[in-house]
Structure 1
Amino acid sequence: MRSKLVMAVVGTLLLAGATACGEDSTASSSTTTGDSAAVEAAQAEIEEASTPLTFTAPGPPLDASKSRGSSIHVVALNLQVPLLSHISEYVSEVGGELGMKVSIHNADDQVTGMQKGIQDAIAQRADALLILGVPVDLVRSALQDAKAAGIPVINVLNNPIDMDAPGQGAGEEFYASVGTDLGLGGRLIAEKAIVDTDGQANVLFVDSEGLSPQPPVAAAVKETLGECDGCTLETKNVPVANWGTDITPLVVTSLRANPNINYVITLFDSMAIFATAGVQQAGAAGTVHVVSHNGGSAALSLVKKGDVMTADPGVSEEWAGWAAIDQAMRGMQGLEPGDPMVPYLYLDTASVQDVDVENERDVYGDPFVAGFRELWGLE
């Protein structure tokens, strides 16, 4: 377990040729006293998100034996991205156990490869098509062909969920999605800063506009901090192509320019690794902390140390893989799509102390295994 949702769209931004580091600074008014009501509300939601995960059936029971012998075609943006390779592996493993044929196509960041993967699914008369990290706008015509061929297409951890929109937020070309509550992720990381500073969070938010999951996360961070009367917010934008080069010096410069900053929030935890280095280089470890979300093992290792990075709520990649199989079978069998949500778990320094952060089941638990097996008539 190394990375999460954001890595699925890294290739998208690289394809788009993202370049310069933009800086968009905004600030809310501050007071000299903390907002106790904001602290209380934040603590309540954090506590609710910290409870061990339980399985809730995404839809009515289905008979997995009806899908035995069927085929699932997976088109991944780039299997060098750990999230995409891990989910592909989980889909292949679970599908194989259910007697399905799972074919995995690596587009290797090439538009022609993405299009070919979808066209191969059509030519091979796949019974379901899973899209992992592929930017929809680049393959919309091919996806329309897949839909016309009667293939249910599922977008996996690649779009904000909207239950009232086509494809559960993925678009007209899709049967369903698998995703998570990105707004909750944004609220939780802002709430961590509010609680730790007793309602006086002076936040540097390192954003990255242009990523498909970005809008609900950024909106939640800004709204949550905006409702805290004792908090301030300064926002900087760093394109994904520049994360490795620009985030660390940006944090160093920002902390030196504004010594009142006491928390750095990053859009996703792959960015938090560089932000943590910036806090350390600025000599601010112990006084300035970092929080983000996605629950990747590299960031959770920093959370486990706890000196700079303090929390990293996230979702289980394996759970997402099982959920993708569930959606695929519902599509094959002509059923309504299931609930696409994979649940968040709040993870902080205290909660991961005795956990192997490299082991997803150790971090998140595995209630989904027995849950899906029972739902599918296997137990």
Structure 2
Amino acid sequence: MSKMRQFLLTSLFAATASLLAAQPGAADPMSDAKAIVADHETMPVFTPPGDAFDAKACMAGKKVLSIPISMTIPFNVELQKGMAAAAKEVGFTYTTWDNQLKVDQWIQGVSQAISQKYDALDIAGGLNPEVLGPQLAEARAAGLKISTTHLYDVTQDQFKGVDYSAKVDFSGAGKLLAAWAYVKTGGKPNVLIIGSSDVLPSIPFVKSIQAELKALCPECKQKHLDVPVSEWATKIQPGVQSALLADPTINYILPIYDSMSQFVVPALRITGSEGAVKIASFNGTPFVLDMVRENHVQMDIGESLGWAGYAAIDNIMRMMCGLPSAAKLNVPLLIFDERNIKTAGIPANFNDGYGDAHLEGFRKLWKLK
């Protein structure tokens, strides 16, 4: 082979390799996974969910009633606190309908909104509006706007009886959990995913974990354990134990909701897997963040509920003011692990560790300053 021909062939191979490396499908999976993780390790910044508007003028004299799934759940209590604080800043009437997870109480809340001539009704914190279909139809006929807060995944369509929905990026959280497990196992994850298909966003959440793991590592093993919320206390621990005994090479457990972790840890202890099998999850529930600090859970993806409350009110006001709905609830997802877990508070709480960029951001967005 002539030197010129060899030079040309070498150049051609180099150019071809460079071109292939530039193709989206040819990227290094580990680099991709590390990039996903890195995107959620820094202090959150505020990104406007839409155009600025004069919220005080638009909402003058308006009344909003919010019905959470239950005020016995700390998550809902904190979310409602954030929503009430945001409404107070703008200056309109905001009422939380107190209830204890009873359908008749939810129905009474809708009736109250109609009889007291509220302008908008928000269904919050996991309450599926389909349960109140006839009542919400009556409310809309009376002129109320209907919204949901923190219920749907960004990939899901809202119930036809709803006007606006503040959707959550559960799919993004799933992608992040998969990337985390891939990175932390050196590209060799063997994952047990724990889901609850009876919770509306759980199916796309689990699917996003499964799809991302398959994209990063087609040959890697994964298993899905589905447990209804009502059976977490009785079915998660034995289900995890059985999975670990059947396959001792499992190295990661991904409960999609972090409160599940309290039932996973005992299973690890009983099977002698604690330390070898890691846990990563989503929600930022304070007692689970404490478990991260105590090294029982390796990582928890958190979302500030104070920030979520402001974002929810933003979307409700956009509905009332005739503006386009936000594509998703404007709440960043932040990784809490051994690096930054102390910033979540000791003991942890729902809002520490995220900064307060949302306060200045929303105030400017609403033209309050």
**With structure 2 as the length reference, what TM-score do the two structures score?**
0.86
Which residue pairs with 2:271 in the alignment? 282
Q: For residues 206 and 346 of structure 1, do their structure 2 counterparts lie closer, same or farther at Cα, with a shift above 3 Å needed?
A: same
Q: State how far apart, in whole Å, the 2-side matches of 1:364 and 1:277 are.
A: 30
Offset from partner CA, 1:171-210 (integer Å, 9 cap, x none)? 2222212232111111111111111111111112222212
Pick the aligned partner of 1:216 from 204, 211, 225: 204
Which residue pairs with 1:30 in the alignment? none
What is the 5 A alignment of 1:97-246? 97-132=89-124, 133-162=126-155, 169-227=157-215, 228-246=217-235
Which residue pairs with 2:320 in the alignment? 332
- Which secondary structure state, in structure 1, belongs to the residue aligned with residue 153 of structure 2? coil
Which residue pairs with 1:72 in the alignment? 64
How many residues align? The count is 338
Q: For residues 320 and 354 of structure 1, do their structure 2 counterparts lie closer, same or farther at Cα, with a shift above 3 Å needed?
A: closer
Which residue pairs with 1:372 in the alignment? 362
Task: Determine whether 1:314 maps to 2:306.
Answer: no
- Which secondary structure state, in structure 1, belongs to the residue aligned with residue 335 of structure 2? coil
Q: State how far apart, in whole Å, the 2-side matches of 1:334 and 1:185 are.
A: 30
Offset from partner CA, 1:63-119 (integer Å, 9 cap, x none)? 122213321111122100111111222222222233222222124222222122112
Q: For residues 367 and 323 of structure 1, do their structure 2 counterparts lie closer, same or farther at Cα, with a shift above 3 Å needed?
A: same
Which residue pairs with 1:88 in the alignment? 80
Q: Shift of the alpha carbon at 1:217?
A: 1.0
Pick the aligned partner of 2:48 from 57, 62, 69: 57
Q: Which stretch has the larger CA shift, 204-213 or 250-259?
A: 250-259
Q: Contact 2:166 / 2:326 at 8 angstroms: preserved in 1? A: no
Q: Shift of the alpha carbon at 1:289?
A: 0.8
Q: Structure 2 stretches of 5 or more lacking a match? A: 1-26
Q: State how far apart, in whole Å, the 2-side matches of 1:94 and 1:207 are.
A: 33
Q: Shift of the alpha carbon at 1:287?
A: 0.8
Q: Shift of the alpha carbon at 1:230?
A: 4.5
- Which secondary structure state, in structure 2, belongs to the residue aligned with residue 325 of structure 1? helix
Q: Which stretch has the larger CA shift, 293-302 or 101-110?
A: 101-110
Q: Contact 2:78 / 2:350 at 8 angstroms: preserved in 1? A: no
Q: State how far apart, in whole Å, the 2-side matches of 1:51 and 1:109 are.
A: 36
Q: Shift of the alpha carbon at 1:354?
A: 4.4
Q: Structure 1 stretches of 5 or more lacking a match? A: 1-35
Q: Match of 2:54, as an amino acid?
A: D
Deviation >6 Å, runs of 4+: none
- Which secondary structure state, in structure 1, belongs to the residue aligned with residue 289 of structure 2? helix
- Which secondary structure state, in structure 1, belongs to the residue aligned with residue 94 of structure 2? strand
Q: State how far apart, in whole Å, the 1-side matches of 2:54 and 2:284 are.
A: 33
Aligned-residue RMSD, C-alpha = 1.9
Q: For residues 96 and 171 of structure 1, do their structure 2 counterparts lie closer, same or farther at Cα, with a shift above 3 Å needed?
A: same
Q: State how far apart, in whole Å, the 2-side matches of 1:234 and 1:331 are.
A: 41
Q: For residues 354 and 157 of structure 1, do their structure 2 counterparts lie closer, same or farther at Cα, with a shift above 3 Å needed?
A: closer
Q: For residues 275 and 89 of structure 1, do their structure 2 counterparts lie closer, same or farther at Cα, with a shift above 3 Å needed?
A: same
Q: Shift of the alpha carbon at 1:46?
A: 0.5
Q: Which has the larger radius of gyration?
A: 2
Offset from partner CA, 1:232-281 (integer Å, 9 cap, x none)? 01222211111112212222232122211111111211112211221122
Q: State how far apart, in whole Å, the 1-side matches of 2:154 and 2:299 are.
A: 24
- Which secondary structure state, in structure 2, belongs to the residue aligned with residue 173 of structure 1? coil
Q: Contact 2:343 / 2:353 at 8 angstroms: preserved in 1? A: no
Q: Contact 2:167 / 2:327 at 8 angstroms: preserved in 1? A: no
- Which secondary structure state, in structure 2, belongs to the residue aligned with residue 75 of structure 1? strand
Q: Shift of the alpha carbon at 1:349?
A: 2.3
Q: State how far apart, in whole Å, the 1-side matches of 2:100 and 2:241 are.
A: 35
Offset from partner CA, 1:312-353 (integer Å, 9 cap, x none)? 112221111111211222222233323433221222222324
Q: State how far apart, in whole Å, the 1-side matches of 2:190 and 2:324 are.
A: 46
- Which secondary structure state, in structure 2, belongs to the residue aligned with residue 178 of structure 1? strand
Q: Contact 2:343 / 2:352 at 8 angstroms: preserved in 1? A: no
Identical-residue share of aligned pairs (%): 30
